[in-house]
Amino acid sequence: MTTKPGKPLPHLTPTGTCWCGCAKKVGAGSFFAPGHDKVAEAALLAAEYGSSVAQLLHAHGYGPGHSVSARAVAEGVWRKCPSCAYVGAPASIANHTRRGHAPAPTEQV
């Protein structure tokens, strides 16, 4: 079970039906039909926060004085690029590093 500080997250089980509410059947182990995770995310943001990411962040106590990105890094679910200030999920860091940074110079003997 994934946990957040002081708040365990429940174990969720896919049901075979898309969780966005469209009622499409999905494969074993899937919660959503392809792309429908983003549909559900956008619908939740619209229904709960007026489609405003700023409102979402504010409702959870984040903003200019309290960085959600810094918290993700501190909790180990995101990482910081070793060469710059970029932060993101491990796969994002790998892509960023491949595209944004030259390989480290090799030592000349």
Taking only the tens place, the pLDDT of each residue in 42-66 is 999 999 999 999 999 999 999 999 9
Could you report the per-residue pLDDT of 67-101, keeping only the tens digit for each? 999 999 999 999 999 889 999 999 999 999 888 67
- Give the span between the Cα atoms of 92 and 84, in whole angstroms: 14
Q: Which residues lie below 8 Å from residue 51, measured CB to CB, with a gap of 6+?
A: 42, 45
**Beta strands at 87-88 and 3-4: parallel, antiparallel or unpaired:** unpaired
Please give the pLDDT value at position 5. Answer: 57
Please give the pLDDT value at position 1. Answer: 41
pTM higher than 0.75: no
DSSP 91: H
